[in-house]
Amino acid sequence: MGINVICRCGRQFTVEDDLAGRLGKCPECGQILVVPATSYDVFISHSSHSERDVNTAIAICRTLETGGVRCWIAPRDIDKGKVWAEGIMVGIDACRVLVLVYSARSNESTQVLREVEAADAKCATLLTFCIEDVIMSRSLAFFLQSRQWFKAYTGLLDEHLEELLRTVKSILRRPDETPRLSSPGANYRTATAGSGFRKWTDMPNKRWKYALGGAALIFAMAPLLLLLHGGDPPSAASDEERRNPGAQTTVNQPAPDHPYKGMVHIPPGIVHLGASEERLRAHAKSLASIRDNPRLVEQFVQACRDEKVEVVSLGGFWIDKYEVTNGDYAKFIAAKNHRPPAIWGGTAPPAGREDHPVTGVAYEDAASYAAWVGKQLPTVAQWTRAFRGDDDRIYPWGNAWERQRANTAQNNNYAVGTSPVTASPDDASPFGVCNLVGNVDEIMRERPIRLGHLTTITKGSHSEANGDVYGAAPFEFFVIGEGALGNLTGFRCVIEDR
């Protein structure tokens, strides 16, 4: 049958069963890796209806299998011709640990709930790898609120993946235990079972039903009992407590401004990603900077074709009207004692540039700032919808290039470099979001893995001599290594509708 292997470079290949546990070499990149054992250790549960969920599940699989942990993941490990549900149950029965990629999509998935329930019934250890800060449904919370959570929506994804690998290996070293780990999760307080704790599946059939019924009655009557004794029912947790239980507020960490201040609301709708080849060629022939050079026209078309052509449906969200400024970022540095951009030469931005977009920040810096103000980095789809509006335009203002609208090297009103975020009011989308073509490259939320290394996606044209080319909506988003994020890369944030 063979053993399926996923390398960090993304290559999947099959090796013979007798190579289980031995060292092998990836035929794509040559990296030395451990061929996992034929038995499974971890079942990875995720929603297949979200590209981000799928990519995260694959990243988890790569990390664990590179560390010698055998993973079961759909659809890779469902045998051809086998009924899907039967294949899922075979995978769950073979594993000792279930890792759930938790997001808004998986939170609503009945299939994910079935997988979690089945794994709990066989006393598997349940781990929640949380990639979005969303309130958990009561159905999932029944199984997961007292289990271990990994808050992977903050900080570096690589660090959370390595922590997950260490945790899984620790669990697998305890073959006779089925631990109930306390949860530092985003939306529920921790609960640890005492030494006398028995899983309800171990109780006689009638007793566990009575136990659950009695517990439900006690919870239902708790507020009344408190009132009869003169106490008050517990108050609902604040938004911040639900978002980050256990977080401490200190005097030198002032609360950020109201989260929607300076933001623009983008209503639910569809977004067109990419463009047809016919439309790309027609547009290229309208660009003065390349239309007389067939080679450049072809390069433009090919670069744009690198972006997948699809229509995506999005929920509503808020997005910053302008990029995060040096002044905004300075408040974050003072509150969190975070490292300043190296180009500042200190903890304060250069004098007179407080209203310029902050630059020289890495992905983790941008993500940390966004978390501090209760926001997130935008996804490629969200950023593109804010750019293209409802009519699928090429530029934020329409389908024809107008060089004086944006801060690019083609606009003679600007020297090469950044400008105040309010300096280009005509570089605005139909929703009123500014500077989506000019000023700085902007960091997106997605972090693809290329050749074993995390990379960052950016978009913008800033100092480009061909702003009409790089500023076009269908043009490729740049996937670059962390070391390539330079002094003309900034970011803005979003808040998704609940």
pLDDT tens per residue across span 115-168: 999 998 877 899 999 999 888 888 888 888 767 889 998 888 888 999 999 999
pLDDT of residue 187: 32
Chain centroid to CA 61: 16
What are the DSSP calls for 29-69, one per residue? T--EEEPPPSS--EEEE--TT-HHHHHHHHHHHHHHHHTT-
Query: Which residues are paired to 272 by β-bridges?
Result: 311
Q: Which backbone phi and psi does 495 adopt, to 5 degrees?
A: -130, 120
Q: Rounded to whole angstroms, how far apart are CA atoms 319 and 254?
A: 22
- Write down the domain spans for the chain: 39-194, 264-496
pLDDT of residue 243: 37
pLDDT of residue 473: 73
**Radius of gyration for the alpha carbons in the chain, expressed in angstroms and rounded:** 26
Q: Rounded to whole angstroms, how far apart are CA atoms 475 and 477?
A: 7
pLDDT tens per residue across span 438-475: 888 888 888 876 666 677 777 766 555 566 777 777 67
Nearest residue to 474 (alpha-carbon basis) of 298, 305, 286:
305
Mean pLDDT of the chain: 75
Domains 39-194 and 264-496 share a fold: no
Q: Which backbone phi and psi does 33 adopt, to 5 degrees?
A: -145, 165
Whether the predicted model's global pTM rises above the 0.85 cut: no
Tell which wins on pLDDT, 2 or 263: 263
Please, what is the angle between helix 157-172 and helix 51-66, to 10°?
Answer: 50
Q: Rounded to whole angstroms, how far apart are CA atoms 431 and 433?
A: 6
pLDDT tens per residue across span 235-250: 333 333 333 333 333 3
Q: Hey, is 332 helix, strand or coil?
A: helix
Q: Rounded to whole angstroms, how far apart are CA atoms 248 and 236?
A: 18
Tell which wins on pLDDT, 304 or 132: 132
Span 39-194 CATH architecture? 3-Layer(aba) Sandwich (3.40)
Q: Please write down the HEC assignment for all residues of 368-430.
A: HHHHHCCCECCCHHHHHHHHHCCCCCCECCECCCCHHHCCCCCCCCCCCCCCCCCCCCCCECC
Q: Give percent above pLDDT 70 in the chain.
A: 69
pLDDT of residue 242: 35
- Burial (Cβ within 10 Å: 0-12, 13-18, ≥19) of residue 245: middle
Which fold would CATH assign to domain 264-496?
paralog of FGE (formylglycine-generating enzyme) (3.90.1580)
Q: Rounded to whole angstroms, how far apart are CA atoms 331 and 252?
A: 11
* Residue 288 identity (one-letter amino acid): A
DSSP 143: H
Q: Give percent above pLDDT 90 in the chain.
A: 27
Residue 295 has pLDDT above 90, yes or no: no
pLDDT tens per residue across span 171-211: 887 643 333 333 333 332 222 233 222 222 233 333 333 44
Tell which wins on pLDDT, 332 or 446: 332
Q: Is-contact 314 382, C-beta < 8 A?
A: yes
- pLDDT-based confidence at residue 416 (cuts at 50, 70, 90): low
Q: Hey, is 235 helix, strand or coil?
A: coil
Tell which wins on pLDDT, 252 or 445: 445
